[in-house]
Amino acid sequence: MDVTSVQRRLMDELISVEDFPRFRSELADDLREELDRRLEPAVAALREDDQLWVTKARLIDLHSRCEGLYLANVLGEGTFEYSTQLALGSVVHRAVEIGVYRPALSEGELVERAVELLRRDDDRFDSFLQLLGDGEAAELEAEAVRRVMLFRNTFPPLPKSWAPVVELPLKAALAKDRVMLSVRPDLCLGTADREDPTRATRLLIELKTGAERPEHDEDVRLYALAATLRFGVPPYRVATVNLDAGSWRAQDVTEDLLRGALRRVADGCVRAAELLAGAEPNLRPGAWCNWCARRSGCPAAAKDD
């Protein structure tokens, strides 16, 4: 395979391993049992028949942003609206997905096709795009083309033997279905080893642009936990790839890493259940106040003005 020096470095430092690690066949069951035990206080605080959904964004709200923002989002206060950044992210991810399976298409063709599909499949995206002027819509597509180009210039062509999957949905029902863990890694490479199922042969990747933040590392550790519960064997590595810088932060998956992610999930669920049962939220002002439905009546947001 002919690749650039950047693509070769990514293959050597991120994708390649000397030998895929093996994990105990009982590991996933052990993690599930520990999670169920740690989730008992959360389940006890939930109303009968309620189910607590755990996602990357909700855990970030609880642990890194603001509990008031978590409540506003989980209770459906306000309405979802596309912003330019959200729309751009949707276009780029869809274009990357198409490009994995249609490598002959140019970046511009991929973005054009992505916009067409999103407008067809998502009424809210279509409505947002109609509100943009021709110049703003062109700028959005041009930025999407730039980011798709950055992806292609960073990653080598992904052969079918790597089993690439874009936005792989991973769910795990916990605590007798009272808690549902749901995540969607941007890119998964590798698939199960049928001859030796205990070998970890998957790599999970989150694609980012802009500034790097500590919660990005937590996000991919959450992916590792979800994949372990779903498939019964962990990925061998998780990573965040910054397309702007052409850099990445990788973490080899270990039992300690998985148990750290497990504790973060359990602690978040316990606190979420307390909040939903009426506990007073800890308010932490920040940039997220700008998209919080409770901003107008929030004393913490007022202090941050």
Give pLDDT tens digits for 172-206: 999 999 999 999 999 999 999 989 999 999 999 99
| pLDDT tens-place string over residues 8-29 | 999 999 999 989 999 999 999 9
pLDDT exceeds 90 at position 215: no
pLDDT attached to residue 304: 47
Instruction: Give the pLDDT band (50/70/90) at residue 5.
Output: very high
Whether residue 68 is predicted with pLDDT greater than 80 in this model: the reply is yes
Tokens of 29: 């069951």
pLDDT score of 74 more than 90: yes
Q: Please report the pLDDT score of residue 305 as a whole number.
A: 46
List Cβ neighbours of 157 (8 Å cut-off, separation of 6 or more): 1, 3, 103
Contacts of 58 (CB under 8 A, 6+ apart): 70, 73, 74, 268, 272
Per-residue burial over 44-53, b if 16 or more Cβ lie within 10 Å, else e, is ebbeeeeebe
Question: How does pLDDT run across 223-250, given as a tens digit for each residue?
Answer: 999 999 999 999 999 999 998 888 999 9
pLDDT one-digit tens code per residue, 33-48? 999 999 999 999 999 8
**Cα distance between residue 116 and residue 109, in whole Å:** 11
pLDDT tens digit sequence for 92-138: 989 998 998 899 999 999 999 999 999 999 999 999 999 998 899 99
Decide if pLDDT at 58 tops 80: yes
246-299 per-position pLDDT tens digit: 899 999 999 999 999 999 999 999 999 999 999 999 999 999 998 899 998 899
pLDDT for position 256: 98
pLDDT at 212: 80
